[in-house]
Structure 1
Amino acid sequence: MPASAWPFLLRGDVTPVGSIAAWFHDAAARIARRAPASLGWVAALGVVISAGPAAADPRAVVELFTSQGCSSCPPADKMLGELAKDPSLVALSLPIDYWDYLGWKDTLADSRFSARQKAYSAMRGDRDVYTPQMIVNGVTHVLGSDRKGIDAALERSRRERGIMSVPVKLTRKDGYLDVSVAAAAASSGHAEVWICAVSKQVPITIGRGENRGHRIVYHNVVRNVLKVGDWDGAANTWSVPLENITREGIDAVAAYVQDGSRDKPGPMLGAAYTSLAN
């Protein structure tokens, strides 16, 4: 659905798109009400992994949907920078483009990220598409600047069977990036393996719009995404030419294995992150 067709635009702690009931609740209460209390539905979504070793490191993938045109986003952008320092997290910034009409065209935005955020919402069965929104392990959303909410979502997902239980390894060799995914003890369904070309830090001075005059540093910005294969639970390795990933400003790569598909994303099953700096 194009942004122009969405019915409501709120200001405050979040910039959401939602039902008329959203007008009668503050942002924090709305997030608390809509966030799922349990992630127990995960096992029904597709790939089902039997109980086995402890979850692989890292323990979580967090995706921040943000915009240079959103006045509520800078605290969340800073929060993502803090999360990115934690080696047990793969923290990614995915700038969306649906607020570009507000007076400033986001210089990092990608329409694919807007589509991904809406796909998550469709899988949850709600209309919670807003900025700054953080998706934790593909299964729950939280206000991107709410550290307590983020920590609670991380803790809940750690207790769920299967989430982030598949070891993923990234190896550079002879001009290629090898993405190795270990075998699951038991699995069914379909999962996809993706890699993200990442810029660790991108400082931007905003010229117009709600953040006019502000200089914001964006962390772990995804600049491109590439599907490298499908995963059925068996150990496998995919080799990708580094020239297909790298360009000016790209200095890291993330990979993740996610249940479902691009249009129907499910829980994260495993991930890895590596710097491309020599």
Structure 2
Amino acid sequence: MMLNRSALALVLALAASPAMAQTQPKVVVELFTSQGCASCPPADALLNDLAKDPQVLALTLSVDYWDYVGWKDTLALHGHSLRQKAYAEQRPDKKIYTPQMVIDGQIAAKGSDRAAVQRAVMTARASGGLSLPVEVKRDGDALEITLPQPLTIEDGAELWACPVSRTQSVSIGRGENGGRNVTYSNVVRGWTRVARWQGDVRTFRVPLKDLHREGMDAVAVMVQTGTPAAPGQIVGATLFPLD
């Protein structure tokens, strides 16, 4: 089959256009986990299952507060421990433990309790889930993040871009999980605060060099009410692959 010049030009233009993220998840699940916690591998496996659902943005946030028990978590960030604590401060129970899942920044559940997690995910979906579309495309050495729909948010919201390693396996040498090989999904490797969003239609440009972390192959983008010290509801999110 032959293409005329106009058709060929159109094909080449489309091929050169940066691809946009297609999946718009309905729910964000954050798992606070630790390689030094014997109760965590079942929760890690559950998160792996959740990550297969295109309507769920399932993220692994490894914490560092169990490092003293004999094994330093190779994926942990102290910021994850602070984020979990900040979430707990917003809830009446104030509980901090591993494994713990937080759904849409609002609902906490024991990370290894499949039934409880499924109920929390269903509750989040029933309440409307993520109402804000988030569009991402790659433009050369940067990402363009577009929030194409206005949203009324009192005091605005935080726009986050997080480098992610979609699959990572770790051989744990010591501690409660010594000798185990654990596979993690969508491991968050850092946090970049892009902007304080005020609810208007806007496009933000983020240089990829500002996001670079070893092993990253995707970027999670989240729009969350509240502040880093007092995080609120996640209203929009997506996962943008870099390969």
> TM-score band, normalised by the shorter chain?
0.7 to 0.9
Structure 1 vs Structure 2: percent identity of aligned residues? 47
> What SS does the corresponding residue of 1:257 show, helix, strand or coil?
strand
* Of 119, 127, 135, the match for 2:94: 127
- Which of 101, 106, 115 is matched with 1:148 structurally? 115
- The normalised TM-score by structure 1 is 0.77
Q: What TM-score, normalized by structure 2, do the two folds share?
A: 0.87
Q: How far is 1:156 from its partner?
A: 1.2
Q: How does 1:20-169 map to 2 (within 5 A)?
A: 57-160=24-127, 163-169=129-135
Q: Following superposition of structure 1 onto structure 2, how do residues 148-227 of structure 1 map, counting pairs within 5 Å?
A: 148-160=115-127, 163-227=129-193
- Could you tell me how far apart the structure 2 residues matched to 1:74 and 1:84 are? 15
Structure 2 match to 1:258: 224
Deviations, residues 146-188 of structure 1 (Å, cap 9, x unaligned):
2221121112112325x41111111101111011113335332
Q: Which whole-Å CA distance do the structure 2 matches of 1:206 and 1:242 have between them?
A: 31
Cross-structure match for 2:14 = none
RMSD over aligned CA atoms reads 1.4
Consecutive unaligned residues in structure 1, runs of 5 or more: 1-55
CA distance in 1, matches of 2:44, 2:62: 10
Larger radius of gyration: 2
Count of aligned positions: 221
Preserved CA contact (<8 Å) 2:58 2:186: yes
> Cα deviation per residue 1:234-270 (whole Å; 9 max; x = unaligned)?
1111101112213431101100000001000001110
Alignment match, 2:239: 273
* 2:97 aligned counterpart, secondary structure: strand
Any idea what SS the aligned residue of 1:249 has?
A: coil
Q: Partners of 1:261 and 1:248 in 2: how far apart? A: 27
